[in-house]
Amino acid sequence: TDSLLLKSEKLALVGQMAAGIAHEIRNPLTSIKGFIQLFRSNTYQKEYYDIVLSELERINHILGEFLVLAKPSITVFEENELEPLIKDVVTLVNTQSIMNSAQIIVEISPELPTILCEKNQLKQVLINLLKNAIEAMPNGGLIKINAQMKSPNQISIFVNDHGVGIPKERIPTLGEPFYTTKEKGTGLGLMTCFKIIESHHGELIIESEEGIGTTIEILLPISFQPFFSTLSS
Ligand code: ADP
Ligand code: MG
């Protein structure tokens, strides 16, 4: 019965997501259609082109986030060092953090063991969390990434910001698709994070206080049995 319940929950989520995608994609399409009609009547201006381009970009962005989810579920878990992985990610978001006056500090405990993971997926999680942290601090500020042992078989990676924070009642619902408080947000980033961390048998723990900041803990087992996990899901 457990797995049946899970299945119906999954189906409900798929339906909810399909409705959400349709809605999210229809908005920019409707807007693009309107501007194309304007162009036909010859009253166009440069700014209309800009809107059309940014709406196309938005559709592309939404589909891009979904592609991450739609990728084949057979993933390759390998032993990876955390330090270079985290430093890669920081380099990747460097431009965005500089543009937003955010500074990222990395603290990694010495002699962390390697971790069994899908490198690109774990990077994706960190990128999404760092982007959220940067976006949470409109006037810039400090972001701290801290990796340390949690227990003999678990590593914690904390991502901490001093941003706007998240309302208490919202925290349990984070990870649901399409919840966003941003004008250009998709509300898909955290859902992707939850999904990836779940496939790593880990946990994503969110602590936040409005006006103070947010700390997200990625709790990961150092190793697990990937073979059994594939069978049971
Ligand atoms: P998006 O970033 O596109 O809005 P996400 O799924 O990444 O979508 O995040 C969903 C929402 O969760 C954000 O719009 C924001 O309201 C909230 N959120 C996520 N991370 C943070 C953070 N570090 N600080 C404040 N709010 C956050
Ligand atoms: Mg995001």
| pLDDT of 233 higher than 60 | no
The model's pLDDT over 4-17, given as tens digits with 9 standing for 90+, comes to: 656 666 666 667 77
Cα dihedral 37, 41, 45, 46 sign: positive
Q: How many angstroms is it from 124 CA to the middle of ligand 2? A: 11
Q: Whose CA is nearest to atom 21 of ligand 1?
A: 132
The model's pLDDT over 167-215, given as tens digits with 9 standing for 90+, comes to: 999 999 999 888 899 988 888 899 989 988 998 999 999 999 999 999 9
Q: Report percent pLDDT > 70 for the chain.
A: 85
Report whether residue 132 contacts ligand 1, using a CB cutoff of 6 Å: yes
ipTM above 0.90, yes or no: yes
Probe target for ligand 1 pocket from 57, 178, 190, with the most ligand atoms within 8 Å of CB: 190
pTM of the model: 0.77
Residue 10 neighbours by CB under 8 Å, 6+ apart: none
Q: Report percent pLDDT > 90 for the chain.
A: 48
pLDDT of residue 110: 93
Q: How many angstroms is it from 38 CA to the middle of ligand 2? A: 33
First CA to last CA distance, the chain: 14
| pLDDT of 135 higher than 90 | yes
Closest CA to 153 of 64, 219, 81, 231: 219
pLDDT of residue 70: 60
| Mean pLDDT value across residues 46-74 | 76
